[in-house]
Amino acid sequence: NERTRYFATSSEWESINEHNKDGDCWLVIKNRVYDVSKWLNDHPGGSRILKEHAGYDKRNEAESNFFSIHKKSIYNMIHPYFI
């Protein structure tokens, strides 16, 4: 089963906001939360871009960019980071 988290309230998004730095970096992609903290240094585009998009809801802005850069096969690679 694929779990999906939806953050409906501002307090739930505030908890995401705290995860935007080295050692504590969460991304939201298609309403799924990924803890990519351990992958920051391995990201081909560098850790800076992940941290820029981490910690808050940038779905409308970032998802179109995300899907224009990444192939659908990325889901297989990031699935272990799904929380």
For residues 25 and 23, give the distance between their C-alpha atoms in angstroms, rounded to a whole number: 6
What's the CA gap between 11 and 15, in Å, rounded?
Answer: 7
Q: Taking the model in full, what pTM does it have?
A: 0.74
* pLDDT tens string 14-71: 788 888 888 899 888 877 788 999 988 889 888 988 888 887 655 555 566 777 788 8
Q: How far is CA 51 from CA 15, 32, 48, in A?
A: 16, 17, 5
Mapping DSSP to helix (H, G, I), strand (E, B) and coil, where does residue 25 land? strand
Ordered strands of the 20-21 beta sheet: 20-21, 24-29, 32-35
Report the run of H or E that residue 75 belongs to, with start and end: helix 74-78
